[in-house]
Amino acid sequence: MEAPQTKLESFSAVLIEEYIRLMTAADYLKNEGKTGGTEFKIKPEIYEKLQAEELHNPLIGLMISYEKGILTATPDEEFLRNYDNKIMKEVVFMFAENYKNRYDNFVSCCNIE
């Protein structure tokens, strides 16, 4: 998985939701579950566009709340079990490193630097 050279230009709900999913997994794995939720900066108009989409499959297993420009994603136990094995952990950490700034035009993770 190579790091993209440019930021995402066109809105894609599925890609943004997948970003939220994988960054949440990376945050929980990195902190061994000792976090109250992974926070993302997201503008109200972008959040509204996400909510308007019919499918939210990447967000299955995540409890989502939104307030004042901050989306908080909290995973349930079943979600976390998907990332128990070594390969999935490596994929999540590689994604977090390579894509941490890819979606900045729409959303950014506050927990992962």
Phi, psi of 71 (to 5 degrees): -95, 130
> Please, which pLDDT band fits residue 113 given cuts at 50, 70 and 90?
low
Question: What is the bridge-based pairing of β-strands 62-67 and 107-109?
Answer: unpaired
The two tokens of residue 1 are 């998985």
pLDDT digits (tens, 9 = 90+) for 1-25: 667 878 889 999 999 999 999 999 9
pLDDT digits (tens, 9 = 90+) for 73-109: 999 989 989 998 999 999 999 999 999 899 999 999 9
pLDDT reported for residue 3: 73
Token pair 């994929």: residue: 91
Residue type, 111: N
Packing angle between helix 86-99 and helix 13-30, nearest 10 degrees?
120
The two tokens of residue 10 are 């066109």
